[in-house]
Amino acid sequence: MFLTNLKESNHIDIKEYFIKNFPDITPYQREKLDDFIFDMPYEIFEEKKKTINKWIRLSIIIFPIVWLIVFIGLPFNYILTGKWGYDMKNIKWFKDWSNMLKLI
């Protein structure tokens, strides 16, 4: 799990989690649970729910083909520019696309 996929939980969600998973809590403990959660010296995080466009999901089929074309294009890029490799400003679309596919 990536740390960027986390969001901070609010106190109400934490309290509901405790009540749901520990049904034997007495009413007094439920009352004290609010103070305990509010005064915690640490934060509790939960995973963000991300929705990904269905076209991006389907593009994983053609991603290896595009990667192969970009890889085969390296010698031609070297002949034309004299540098082995692509500038990030020219290949930014490919990097962004691959990062979107990592979220799946």
* Global model pTM greater than 0.85: no
pLDDT the model gives residue 64: 92
The pLDDT profile of the chain, 104 residues, written as one tens digit per residue, is 566 778 888 888 888 888 889 888 888 888 888 888 888 888 888 887 777 788 888 888 999 999 999 999 999 989 998 888 888 888 899 888 888 887 55
pLDDT the model gives residue 104: 53
pLDDT the model gives residue 103: 55
Max Cα-Cα span within the chain: 76
Q: Which of 4, 30, 29 is nearest to 99 (CA)?
A: 4
7's tokens: 């969001």
CA 29 to centroid of chain Cα atoms: 36
